[in-house]
Structure formats: structure tokens, C-alpha cells
Structure 1
Amino acid sequence: MTTTGTVLDDIIVGVREDLAPRRAAVPESEIARRAHAAAPALDARAHLVGDGTTMGLIAEVKRSSPSKGTLAEIPEPARLAEVYARSGASAISVLTEQRRFRGTLADLDAVRERVDVPVLRKDFVVEPYQVLEARAHGADLVLLIVAALDDARLRDLHALSAELGMQALVETHTPAELERALALGADLIGVNARNLKDLTVDLARATDLLGRIPAGPLAIGESAVASVDDVEAYAAAGADAVLVGEALVTSGDPADAVASYRRVARRGRPLPEGDRA
């Protein structure tokens, strides 16, 4: 693991501790068998692009966060996911990290059974076992956080997800991390407005970085969405889609929020400032 900062480091320590009993209960050979036997993964990129005219949306089932604590109880994650999908969400993100986000693999199983759009296993993936586990539980996407992985591990996990027919959302926060994602050949690049080292949020920094993503990979804005105006800001910066959790689970009307975010027009990525005529 790359040393990244106290919050992310602490989360990953917990992730590894929680992984140990799961690995002991289900050996890697068995989880690999289940992963390869799972139904084929859905094409997340195609769902996020849609008809190409409006912003894609990854709607997140999110009970809690390290920065805000409890957001919503969500006793039936599959029911919320169904509302998201019915309202136009391109994909569903399910938190499975236990300690800070109160998520479980059972949540992932329940959501997968209920919706027919791609499902992202949102966790802090640092081991091949977790990628196999995601596919075995029906995930179509995994999250790979560049700040948490060295180049060799990032490359190996990205390759494993492709081997299993999944896609990886490769998350970045800085220009250096973006360069690593581009060198990897990532097809889905996320730019997180939240700094995982200290949990501060800077939407302007994220929109600037989004403008540096060249044509080819899909660009996805993550965090800092509280209203349609924030989705508009991501669209203006060239994002093809946004990932939204907190604003949906606290909105009081997630169906309306999903529909309003999905109506935002996609505008295409502008060139970075230095490349503009």
C-alpha cells in the first residue's frame, strides 16, 4: 500500500482486518471459482453513456461516511436501489466497507438481485481477493483508488477486473494521480473532489482536473454534489457522469433528485487551460 495520509491509511487498515475472516471462511480458490461462474457483467460504460446527450449518474446506497457520520439508516438497500434505477440512474454504487460506511456484501447481493443496471462495489480495494469477491457477488464495476495503490498493484487489480469481464472506476484526486490513471489505460476515470487524506472537499479543484482528461476514457465527477448546480458544474468541466450518494440519501425524495440530475446536459470536455487557443 502507498502511504497516503491518516484517514485513508486508517480505513485501509480496517479493510484488511475485516477481509481476513472472510478470506479464512472462503478460500481464494473458491471465491475465484464463484467469480468465474457468475453471470456475465453488464457493460457499465454503455449505460453511463446512454444516448450521449445527458449526464450519466451512478447513484449510491450510502448509510454513513467518515466526514458526516450517519446519513440515513437504509434498512432495505435494494428498495432504494430500485427507486434509483426506476428514476433513471445509469448505475448503482453500493458501499461494502463496514467500519466507516456501515456497508456489507449482503447489501450488494440484495441490490444485484433487484436492479438490471450495472452495480459498482464501492470499497477500498487493495487485494485481488476483493476483486474476485466483487464479481462473485454480482458486481459489474470495482473502484480502484490510485492514492491507495502503487503502480504494480494498480495494474494487477485493473487487469484482473478486465479478465473477469468487469470494468474499473479508477479514482484520482491530483494531476499526478490522473497521469497514473491515463498511463494505465483506464477506461473510466473518476475525479474525487474529496481529499481522502483529510476529507476536505474542493469542487473547483475537481473540475479543473476533469478538464485535463483527454478524449477516450469516460470522466466521472465524484463528491461535492449538493444540488443540480453542482452537477451542472461537473458537466461544464467535461464530466460524462457523476457519482452521488449523500445528496440522494438525504434528499427526502431520491426519485426526484435522480431525475433532476439526469436531465443535466452533457457538454463534452474542454481542453486544459494551457491547450486552449
Structure 2
Amino acid sequence: MSRIPETLLASVRAQVAAREARMPLAEIKERALARPRPQGRMQALRGERVAVIAELDPVNAECCALVEQWEDCGVGAIAMAPAAHPSPQPWRQLAAVSSRTRMPVLCMDLVVSSYQLWEARAHGADLVLLTAAALPREALVSLVERTASLGLTALVEVRDGPDLGLALRAGARAVLVRAPEHADAEAARAAIRELLPMVPGDVVRVAECGPAGRSDLIAYARQGADAVLLGRAALAGTDPCATLTGLVSIGAHPSLARRGAQTV
């Protein structure tokens, strides 16, 4: 049973239906299959260092310039949430960003339909966020399998033990551990620190960093995180490059380094 408000899910379904009406499934499939097949991108999130995933605002006109700067900072992947905006411009930005970087690109749409997976691949995504709380078990299993069949990597969002159990039963090979909704900063950190060790060692663990980026990264790395996601709010300062360079450096520190890259 979904724990995402039905009103939100209904709104997303309506938006997807409107996009599909403008671009039928056969056309989006043709565009997706015309792109090179994504190649094993999970290794970028599981290596000797704790990788940093940075989220770009898809309506930012400077997206392409920023992603090149962030690549120079040593970021491991870029995240974008294109469908959070009603216009097609964010999807064009996703495609533009993916064409300008060697880093994996994570599409952070709220996925309710396999049509969205084809959209993600057609616009150059390598990874796709699936939300355990938004989908019945059968739907999550189907979408995890379909994501893999398209050459994409599913990153399944989990916020508690039941979410994690659902993700693992669905065959997830990578999870994004986020705090429960409406938790304050300290409760959020505690919840993520508690959930991370529950993730099996053969599953990639990504933790969402809060405003306390540095201390969050260290705490989550010590609980087994392979990577951290830094959201737009945490990068809204005057010098996001300095923020990212600092976190990348911390993630590569010998005290946090993993014992060699692990096979996924």
C-alpha cells in the first residue's frame, strides 16, 4: 500500500498522461533506443572513496556550466528532478547536462509508470529514482526489472525498515536512504544512521546529506554509506564549488576510505 498522498500520485499520473499524449510511447521508445546504452554506472557510486552526488536545479539556466565545474570538483554523479516542473525545459536541460558530462546522471522523478523510464533514458539519464513508498510491491518489482532491461540503474528510495524490506524483495541493488518526512534535523540524522547498517553489504548505499554536510558525510560513511546525495538546498550558498570540493576531499580521506573497490 502506498504511503504517498493519493492526490500527489494522481497529479503525477495526470502529468505523465499529458506528456504521453504529446509524445506517444512508440516515439519516446525510438528516441531512447537511439541513444547509446548506459554502461554499468554503479561503480561510480562504490569505490575506495565515499562518492558525492550533487543535485542540480533543472530550471537553472547555468546547468551546463555548473555541471562542468562540479565535475572538476570531483563529484561522482549529478542528480536532477526534471518532472518537478511543468514545462518541457527541465527535460531539455537533463539532456543537455548528460551530453556535457562523463558523470552518471540520476533522474529524480516520482516514477509511477514505465513511460517515465523511457523518458529518462531518452534524455540521457543513467540512473532512475524509484520510491518504495509510492508503489505497491508488484509495481516496484516490475519497475526495477524494467529499469535494468533498459540499461538503467534503479536507485530505490527508502525511509524506514518496511521500505527497505520492500526494496530488497523487489531486487534493488542500490538504495537511497532518506529520513522520514517532517523529521527535524537531529531525528533525520539518527534515522539515517540507524537504517544504513540494515542494508546488505552487496547493495549500494546512498545517504541523503542534510545542511550539516561535512558531519553528515562522516557519520553516514562510518555506518557504511558508499555515497551521499547533496540536495539543492545544501548547494544554494554563494560558493557551491567550495562546498562540493570540501565534501569530495572528506569522502576521499583515508579514515573513511573503503578497503578497495567492491564488486556490485
Please tell me the TM-score bracket, short chain as reference: 0.7 to 0.9
C-alpha distance 119-4 of structure 1, shift in aligned 2 (>3 A): same
Structure 2 residue 63 is matched with structure 1 residue 58: no
The whole-number CA distance in structure 2 between the counterparts of 1:199 and 1:135 is 33
- The residue that corresponds to 1:92 in the other structure is 78
Listed as ranges, the matches of 1:14-93 within 5 Å are: 14-50=11-47, 52=48, 54-62=49-57, 74-93=60-79
Quick one: which amino acid aligns to residue 233 of structure 1? Answer: A
Aligned partners of 1:262, 1:43: CA distance in 2, in Å? 22
Seq. identity, %: 34
Which residue number corresponds to residue 122 of structure 2? 136
Q: Does the Cα contact within 8 Å between 1:59 and 1:248 map onto a contact in 2? A: no
Confirm or deny that 1:145 pairs with 2:131. Answer: yes
Q: TM-score scaled to structure 2, two decimals? A: 0.87
8 Å CA contact 1:231, 1:261 repeated in 2: yes
Q: Does the residue aligned with 2:84 lie in a helix, a strand or coil?
A: coil
Residue in structure 2 matching 1:236, options 213, 222, 225 = 222
Counterpart for residue 112 of structure 2: 126
**Runs of at least 4 residues off by over 4 Å:** 198-201
SS across alignment from 1:97: helix
CA drift of 1:224 comes to 2.1
Unaligned runs of 5+ in 2: 260-264
Cα distance between partner residues in 1 of 2:26 and 2:15: 19
Aligned partner of 1:108 in structure 2 is 94
- Matched position secondary structure for 2:245: helix
The one-letter code of the counterpart of 2:154 is A
Is residue 3 from structure 1 mapped to residue 2 from structure 2 by the alignment? Answer: yes
Which structure has more helix as a fraction of its residues? Answer: 2
- Aligned Cα root-mean-square deviation (Å): 2.4
Which TM-score applies when normalising by structure 1? Answer: 0.83
In the TM superposition, what whole-angstrom CA distance separates every residue of 1:104-135 from its partner, at most 9, and x where no partner exists? 21221121121111101111011000001101
2:197 to 193, 211, 226: 211
Give the 3-state SS of the residue equivalent to 1:211 in structure 2.
helix
Cα distance in 2, alignment partners of residues 268 and 211 from structure 1: 15
Local SS of the residue matching 2:52: strand
Conservation of the 8 A alpha-carbon contact between 2:209 and 2:216: no
How many residues get paired?
253
Residues 43 and 200 of structure 1: CA distance in aligned 2, closer, same or farther (over 3 Å): farther
The alignment partner of 2:78 has SS state of strand
